[in-house]
Amino acid sequence: MDHFTYRNFDLCCEQVSLRSLAADIGTPAYVYSKAALLESYRAYDDAFAEVPHVVCYSIKANANLGVLATLARAGAGADIVSGGELFRALRAGFPPSRIIFSGVGKTRDEMRDALEAEILMFNVESLSELRTLDEVARELGVRAPVALRVNPDVDPQTHPYIATGLKTSKFGIPFAQALEAYEEAASLKGVEVVGADMHIGSQLTKAAPFADAVARLASLVKALRERAIAIRTVDVGGGLGIRHREETPPTHREYAMALLPALRELGVTVLLEPGRSIVGNAGVLLTRVLYRKDTGNKKFVVIDAAMNDLIRPPLYDSYHEVRPVSEARLGGPTEKVDVVGPICESGDFLAKDRELARTEEGDLLAVMSAGAYGFAMASNYNTRPRAAEVLVDGNRYTIVRRRETYEDLVAGETTP
């Protein structure tokens, strides 16, 4: 997380001190680095430069309009999974010709909106969906550009909740049924077969499962071409992991090197759907210590952020480094603590049994690597307003989402 470093004794995002940010806008707050976002996007773009490609940022990881507009302006495309994400993508300025629509449960309305917007492609995940899309497209008098998402059945070696390319998962069309599904797709008047698609999981820290899956997909593309079904695009999905602690995920270049041999040979346009690896290490959750508590059995640091702000630790057992904003704390004593929020659940923790520099009430902490699936999965549980989001650019910042108010939380509700 090179864009989060100590300068003049405080942890900073680029050149903005998190202490001064907290004083200006309060806590909890998500703080994103524009430079980090662009660096990771460009690293993908460079790594795949030798083949025609579109890096379609997976909006689900962080859908803030400020984040999206930054990537759209840099030339990225978007991977969406809902009508809401289509709305955001268009609002943020992604050209429809760079938007792809993934997901197992697209509704007719969502299909219609995406067809009317003339998006690049639908990644179709079942025959039922394919037939519905065919109908909707014919009703509109258009042909839907389609890739079938094929489940290559490889083990991505990641947390079971975020593995998607196994035989037992709900995603994609089983590899063994793919040829038949393509033949049906090729026969439909409302559908134009354009590509093949996969996504095997998230937070993958090895390149081999990606390479295995792409090799399977490449063999399918060849078999399809023998049947005169022309495949012009291959979507390799997202899933490249980030470093939280000791993981050593492949770099963008290593990832590209693992995939390119098979892709180059096919002569296709390569689509990518990265989410976490673009935004994960570009953001932190900034929070303040409310209380210290020692029960005799355990020490707790109670902070003003909670599982409603960042659910990843209890949900996936994920590790997020916790850093004091004040560099001076790093030289002091350490202690083993649970870092917990104010929510009435024992699952409300951001770090467990963690050896941390001793912090006092009022201290600021940064929960690192929180840019992906942080705010995006936040809720209003316990009627907690969702945090503010800030995008830093050099020595300036923009509040790209204001903190929710209590009025926001009840807007839309009525008493009978």
Footprint on this chain of ligand LLP (rule: CB under 6 A): 58, 61, 79, 102, 162, 164, 199, 202-203, 237-240, 273-277, 312, 316, 372-373
From the CB of 81, what's the least distance to ligand LLP, in Å? 7
Give the span between the Cα atoms of 395 and 380, in whole angstroms.
Answer: 31
Residues 365/288, Cβ–Cβ less than 8 Å: yes
Nearer to ligand LLP, 377 or 399 (CB): 377
Q: What Å distances lie between residue 153 and 123, 167, 171, 202, 216, CA to CA?
A: 17, 5, 10, 15, 9
What letter represents residue 72's amino acid? A
From the CB of 415, what's the least distance to ligand LLP, in Å? 35
Burial class (CB in 10 A: 0-12, 13-18, 19+), 85: buried
From the CB of 376, what's the least distance to ligand LLP, in Å? 8
| End-to-end Cα spacing for the chain | 50
Number of Cβ within a 10 Å radius of residue 278: 30
Nearer to ligand LLP, 199 or 329 (CB): 199
Q: What 3-state DSSP class applies to 81?
A: coil
From the CB of 53, what's the least distance to ligand LLP, in Å? 15
Residues 51/263, Cβ–Cβ less than 8 Å: yes
- Token pair for 379: 């809720």
Give the span between the Cα atoms of 137 and 191, in whole angstroms.
Answer: 7
Give the span between the Cα atoms of 104 and 411, in whole angstroms.
Answer: 31
Nearer to ligand LLP, 17 or 203 (CB): 203
Nearer to ligand LLP, 111 or 162 (CB): 162
Residues in the chain: 416
Catalytic residue among 12, 13, 56, 344: 344
Main-chain dihedrals φ then ψ at residue 323, nearest 5 degrees = -115, 140
Nearer to ligand LLP, 28 or 238 (CB): 238
From the CB of 115, what's the least distance to ligand LLP, in Å? 20
- Catalytic residue flag (residue 344): yes
Tell me, what DSSP letter sits at residue 160? G
Active-site residues: which are they? 344
